[in-house]
Amino acid sequence: MMRIGIAGGGLMGRLMALWCGQQGWEVSVREAGPPDPANMTDRAAAFTSAGMLSPAAEMEAGGPRVYEMGLRSLALWPGIHRACGARFDLRLSGSLLISHPTDRSSADRILRHIQPSAEHAPQPLSHEELARMEPALKPRLCGWLLPHEGHLFPIEALAALRDSTPADWAFDCPVTRVAPGALESSRGLEQFDWVFDCRGLGGRGQDMPLRGVRGEIFTLRPASGSPPIGRPIRLLHPRWRVYLVPRPDGHLVVGATEIESEDRSAPSVQSCLELLSAAFSVVPSLAEARIVSSDINLRPALPDNLPVIQTQPGLTRINGLFRHGWLLAPALMEDAGRAMACSPA
């Protein structure tokens, strides 16, 4: 039986643990953070996320490669959901792009960068169609439907991946070194048949020129007690890329800034004003919502903002998921498995 060591127990590490477990292998996971992170300083980047599965919408930032990998991931998520006993919220009911009428020219420029296949292209909606789909939106907004997209609840999904995968899970156990067939942590030097390095920013070095990109999100509790919208919504704006995502617990997530900084301090006044003002401008009922929490984290990014898989006998490194973690991780899991199988012994 293959013995697998995984450095990093965030989203990528948990998916690789699930995949390796499905092969019948013995899996050990070593994670620097605690099992249930309670604050913004000790959690993997995947905890601070809206969990949007939006391959077409992300073309503006990620281009054709992100779109192609995102489509593959979207097809893989239902199987992962079943493997976890359907213990996390997964919805594939589409997403919406919207803009204020005064920003229509800017929206059209953004839409020109979103060029998926005809099947996945944004579908223009009339004002009446948009109002029927999402009655809480401000009247007379411009809207486009992306019917083949979805979202999930990251906190639930991370817990389900851990609880559904038989493995030797060691938390509060930072990995200090990885090598082919070995990793070193607070447990000492351990030998394996294969090691997957999924540590995000913890894996940076000379051959992995990672940087942290700051992201911020807010969780709101609507006055009605339930989210005023039923699917993810992105606001196309000249300056902001604001999204609103409903949660099954009745909350609404608003995000996300993208700041070239590794500062982990609390969100700034500017971020609060821009994100929440933009959200209120499209969903007026949020005027009476309450701010439940704010969160920040650093997304691991490479110079081209695209992910990479590096494989040599006994070792696979997966990193650079940037802002696309939940969208791309299943495809990367599949690709890393193929690369491992093709690697010489």
Residue-wise pLDDT tens digits, 76-108: 999 999 999 999 999 999 999 999 999 999 999
Strand order in the sheet with 290-301: 123-125, 142-146, 95-99, 233-236, 241-246, 252-255, 211-221, 290-301
The pLDDT of residue 116: 87
pLDDT of 145 higher than 70: yes
In contact, 66 and 47? CB cutoff 8 Å: no
Q: What mean pLDDT comes out for the span 151-178?
A: 96
pLDDT of 206 higher than 80: no
The pLDDT of residue 256: 80
Average pLDDT, the chain: 93
The pLDDT of residue 1: 85
pLDDT tens by residue, 113-130: 888 888 899 999 999 999
Structurally, the chain folds into a number of domains equal to: 1
The pLDDT of residue 205: 81
Q: How many Å apart are CA 232 and CA 244, to the nearest integer?
A: 6
Residues in the chain: 345
The pLDDT of residue 149: 96
- Here the CATH number for the domain that contains residue 14 is 3.50.50.60
Residue with tokens 């992100």: 66
pLDDT of 309 higher than 70: yes
Helices (H), the chain: 11-22, 59-83, 104-112, 127-133, 154-163, 269-282, 325-342
Q: What mean pLDDT comes out for the span 175-196?
A: 96
The pLDDT of residue 341: 86
Q: What mean pLDDT comes out for the span 145-171?
A: 96
Radius of gyration of the chain (CA): 20
Residue 42 pLDDT level (bands cut at 50, 70, 90) = low
The pLDDT of residue 2: 95
The percent of residues above 90 in pLDDT, for the chain, comes to 83
The pLDDT of residue 88: 97
The pLDDT of residue 241: 79
Per the model's pLDDT, the better-predicted residue between 35 and 131 turns out to be: 131
The pLDDT of residue 41: 61
Residue 304 pLDDT level (bands cut at 50, 70, 90) = very high
The pLDDT of residue 119: 86
Which region among 64-73, 134-143, 173-182, 197-206 has the lowest average model confidence (pLDDT)? 197-206
pLDDT of 40 higher than 60: no
The pLDDT of residue 35: 81
The pLDDT of residue 10: 95
The pLDDT of residue 38: 62
Query: Which among 200, 155, 214 has a CA at the least distance from the CA of 300?
Result: 200
pLDDT of 326 higher than 60: yes
The pLDDT of residue 345: 60
In contact, 237 and 99? CB cutoff 8 Å: yes
The pLDDT of residue 36: 76
Domain that holds residue 224: 3-342
Q: Which residues contact 284 (CB under 8 A, 6 or more apart)?
A: 136, 138
Q: What mean pLDDT comes out for the span 133-147?
A: 97
Residue 261 pLDDT level (bands cut at 50, 70, 90) = very high
Q: How many Å apart are CA 97 and CA 58, to the nearest integer?
A: 11
